[in-house]
Chain A
Amino acid sequence: MKLIRSGSTIIATAPQQSGSLVWPIGIHNGRLLHLMDSHLSGNDQFDIVTNNQDGAEWTQIGEQIQVASTASTNSQLTNYLATHISYRFWDTGVKVKENPACTIEFTTKAGAVPYGNYGGTTLYQTMGFVTAPEGTIASINLRDAGNTANNGVSWGCSRWSTMRWNVDAGYDMQVALRQGGATVSSFSGDYLSKHTDPTSFRYTFRHTEMVHTRLDGDFRFTNGFITVNYPGTDGDGDYSAVKTIATDSTVGASGDLGDHHIYVFVAVGRKAAGGDVQTIKGKYTVWVK
């Protein structure tokens, strides 16, 4: 785990060190996600893993994580959080009752690999937060209560954002901010890439959630939003957008739920069966504090 910056220097008496302003620009506080610290989990519904070339291939490339997702068959597709093809979980160690502010950022350098099979079978890349008991990272099964449950057997509550890549001939993308067993839907308008020469697929997504212990002891995700910076048609990179979620997501009021940990996850899936392998590569940074 790479420690980018010590948070203990808040209320600093000395100037902070300035960072080199290279990609991703600025000093990124928080924690870089690294595959070595994660737990890999598959889907218990899809049968696409028939040989060593199917499924999802996760690769650590420097500070970036690349994941290649195979096309699915047999009409299998991703329409819920629970029906993604492959998941990676990280345990933040932070408990629900600590009321953390949760942020995960994904930044691309080259962006979505602009394969031509956009549209109907596009790649879904989902990231977010789920609550589950301490020490159970290997047991989290987001489908253990079905596809549409907002709380499962092995997990408590989730908030997630899905990035839908290569949605059209311009290799644009869209974002949805959802919770629990909601369908993968309600996407934004197109966040445009610069797909003509000189191209730019540099995107930044920062998804933030607030965990709150209500006065009556109920734990819940409240205000959630994801801010996005995208290239735009001229490639200037000064385009931005925000998606919000209006619904609170209840973790529950039982005291032991407050001891549940906040887990971060990244998942990939496909909008529909068919198409070809698609790949997404970028850097994930997490603040759960």
Chain B
Amino acid sequence: MINNKQGSELYYTEGVAYLRAESEPLILNVDNAMYLSGGVADDATVSFAQSASTDGSGNQYIKITIGASTSTATTSIDECANYLFWDTGFKGYHAPSIALDMDCSGALESDLVTATNSGGPLVVFGWCWAAAGSAPMMYGKSGRDSSDVVNTGLAWKMGNGSNESVETDLEHGNTNLGFASTNANRGTDDGCRGFRNKIIANSLIFDNEGIPDVHYYYAASLSNTPGTDCGGENLQEKSKNTKDAIPLNHKLYVFLAAGNFATGGDACTFAGIFRARIK
């Protein structure tokens, strides 16, 4: 027994053993993506490229060129015009903890979508569980279809035709996206238009009568924008509680997608640094 009453006279083992993770967050880039999949709903032309822009640490942006949608737009995360997938190597039985973040706060002004784009360009950053060996197909998937694809993503719509609002929604599958005007706005001044978005999720193993049963359980998102005064305090937090079952051998893919929330508007570009932290 150790006498643990006095904080200053404590038993202490040798040195400090850091629990530090053995790898840094992975910066996603176009070159290490495993698959580019064209969407079948939104008819915009969307392409992904590595931007020459870097942040102060040399991290590169992914630049997304989003054409205007003419007759069909993106109403749910399975309907984007184009998808880029990364294979994380994790499977359902790993029950990983998932964290994704996007930072465009240092992006060049020209990389950010203008307010007056009535098409409502949107980007979706998320993950999906799908059978190994086959590229995920998102369209029409409910997001809870354990026989095929279980997906969740944070969608952000940029500009609403009158101001430079950034509106987010955390959704899955073919559930309609909803963007509220009450969401945090970003400022209008030059140099303060970037923002940061994050998603974090737990998967959990249920002891289902002793049979392994993995569920993607709960996800929370954060969107941090400068606000109309450029103060940077605006935080918008959302959550999703789904308990979607994940087949043990399904693989975890991270995806980045884009499209437009409405038809019309102008072609534009968006650039951000995308990171994945999965363990």
Residues in chain A within 8 A of chain B (CB atoms): 1, 3, 5-12, 14-16, 18-19, 21, 24-31, 33, 36-44, 46-49, 52-53, 55-58, 86, 90-94, 99-101, 103, 135, 137-138, 141, 200, 202, 204, 206, 208, 210, 212, 214-218, 222-225, 227, 229, 231, 236-238, 240, 242, 244, 248, 264, 286-289
A215 and B225 contact, CB distance less than 8 A: yes
> What's the Cα separation between A217 and B46 when bound, in Å?
33
Bound-complex Cα distance A103 to B277 (A):
12
Q: Is the C-beta of B135 less than 8 angstroms from some C-beta in chain A? A: no
Contact B279 A289 (CB under 8 A): yes
Known: A44-B6, A287-B21. 4 other contacts (CB 8 A): A206-B97, A215-B232, A286-B19, A288-B20
| B23 in the interface (beta carbon within 8 A) | yes
Residues of B within 8 A of A100 (CB): 277
Question: What B residues does A210 contact at CB under 8 A?
Answer: 99, 198, 200, 220, 222
CA distance A39 to B87 in the complex (A): 38
Write out the residue numbers on chain B whose beta carbons fall within 8 Å of the beta carbon of A208: 97, 200, 202
Bound-state Cα–Cα, A52 to B16, Å: 27
What per-residue 1/0 map shows which CB atoms of B230-269 lie under 8 Å from chain A? 0111010101010100000000000000000000000000
Assuming A1-B19, A49-B3, A216-B232, is B206 touching A10 (CB within 8 A)? no
Question: Least Cβ distance of A279 to chain B in Å?
Answer: 14
Cβ-defined contact, B224 with A227, below 8 A: no
Contact between B213 and A238, CB atoms less than 8 A apart:
yes
- Name the B residues within 8 Å of A49 (CB-CB): 3-5
Beyond A1-B17, A49-B3, A242-B217, whether A15 also contacts B132 by CB under 8 A is yes
The answer, among B19, B91, B94, B196, for a CB contact under 8 Å with A91, is B19
B43-73 residues at the A interface, CB under 8 angstroms: none
Q: Which residues 192-208 of B sit at the A interface, judged by CB distance below 8 A?
A: 192, 194-196, 198, 200, 202, 204-208
Q: 7 interchain pairs (CB within 8 A)?
A: A1-B17, A18-B91, A21-B93, A36-B17, A49-B4, A215-B194, A222-B235
How many A-B residue contacts, CB cutoff 8 Å?
A: 250
Chain B's nearest CB lies how many Å from the CB of A155?
12
10 tightest A-B CB contacts, nearest first: A12-B89, A93-B18, A215-B232, A237-B207, A93-B20, A216-B232, A101-B99, A223-B220, A42-B4, A37-B17
Q: Note all chain A residues with C-beta closer than 8 A to B149.
A: none
A212 and B105 within 8 A (CB): no
State A18–B91 Cα separation when bound (angstroms).
Answer: 9
Choose one: B93, B195, B233, B279; the contact of A7 (CB below 8 Å). B279
A101 engages B205 (CB within 8 Å): no
Residues of B within 8 A of A (CB): 1-7, 10-13, 16-23, 25-26, 32, 34, 86-91, 93-97, 99, 101, 105, 132, 192, 194-196, 198, 200, 202, 204-210, 212-215, 217-218, 220-222, 224-226, 231-233, 235, 237, 239, 241, 243, 276-279
Q: Hey, which chain B residues are within 8 Å of A289, CB to CB?
A: 21, 23, 25, 97, 99, 277, 279
Task: Write the chain B residue with the least CB distance to A263.
Answer: B19
Name B12's contact: one of A12, A14, A40 (CB within 8 Å).
Answer: A40
Q: A215-B224, A286-B19 are in contact. Are A16 and B6 (CB under 8 A)?
A: no
**A101 in contact with B97 (CB, 8 Å):** yes
A7 / chain B contacts, CB cutoff of 8 Å: 21-23, 278-279
CB distance from B65 to the nearest CB of A (A): 24
Q: Are B204 and A236 in contact (CB under 8 A)?
A: no
- In the complex where A101-B99, A216-B231 touch, is A40 in contact with B279 (Cβ < 8 A)? no
**Using Cβ atoms and an 8 Å threshold, which residues of chain A touch B232?**
214-218
A224-B23 Cα distance, complex, nearest whole Å: 23
Q: Is the CB of A99 within 8 A of B233?
A: no
Residues in B neighbouring A26, C-beta threshold 8 A? 93-95, 205, 212, 214
Q: Nearest chain-B residue to A140 (Cβ)?
A: B7
Q: Which of B209, B222, B231 contacts A236 (CB 8 A)?
A: B209
Compute how far the CA of A287 lies from the CA of B232 in the bound complex, rounded to whole angstroms: 28
A237: min CB distance to chain B, Å: 3
B254 to chain A, nearest CB (A): 9
Q: Check A212–B198 contact: CB distance below 8 A.
A: yes
Q: Is the CB of A212 within 8 A of B207?
A: no
Q: Are A44 and B3 in contact (CB under 8 A)?
A: no
Closest chain-B Cβ to A286's Cβ sits at a distance in Å of: 6
Q: In the complex, what distance in Å separates the CA atom of A248 from the CA atom of B234?
A: 12
Q: A11, B87: Cβ atoms under 8 Å?
A: yes
Complex: A9 Cα to B252 Cα, angstroms: 13
Chain B residue nearest to A200 (CB atoms) is B207
What are the residues of chain A within 8 A of B212 when measuring CB–CB? 21, 25-26
List B contacts of A244 (CB < 8 A).
220, 239
In the complex, chain A residues whose CB is within 8 Å of the CB of B221: 223
Question: Are A11 and B32 closer than 8 Å at their CB atoms?
Answer: yes
- Chain A residue contacts of B12, Cβ below 8 A: 39-40, 138
Contacting pair A92 B20 (CB below 8 A) = yes
